[in-house]
Amino acid sequence: AGVPVISTNAGGLPEINIDGKTGFLSNVGDVENMSKQAIGLLSNPEMLKQFKANAFAHAQHFDIDRVVPMYEELYNRFLN
């Protein structure tokens, strides 16, 4: 956590990586855009610092102590 991510916009990645806030999203196979985003982020220390803080804060939504009780509640609803 606390690391900006440059990923594709496929699957569940957009849920985890918020484009322009916690990192950047690119179309699958768009390596040129991903490399431009990485270079841009690494060459802008202030943006990198902000993205790191945003990534850390967003990662807290996926903390095991928060997620496991949600799954337990969901399972209990379906089992009862």
51: domain range? 5-79
What CATH number is attached to the domain comprising 58?
3.40.50.2000
Per-residue confidence (pLDDT) for residue 12, from 0 to 100: 85
pTM: 0.78
Domain count, the chain: 1
Residue among 32, 24, 21 at smallest CA distance from 6: 24
Phi, psi of 8 (to 5 degrees): -85, 165
Give me the percent of the chain exceeding a pLDDT of 90: 81
Q: What is the distance of C-alpha 72 from the center of its chain?
A: 24
For residue 72, what are its two tokens?
Answer: 């337990």
pLDDT in tens, 5-14: 999 999 988 9
Q: Band of the pLDDT at 1, cuts 50, 70, 90?
A: low
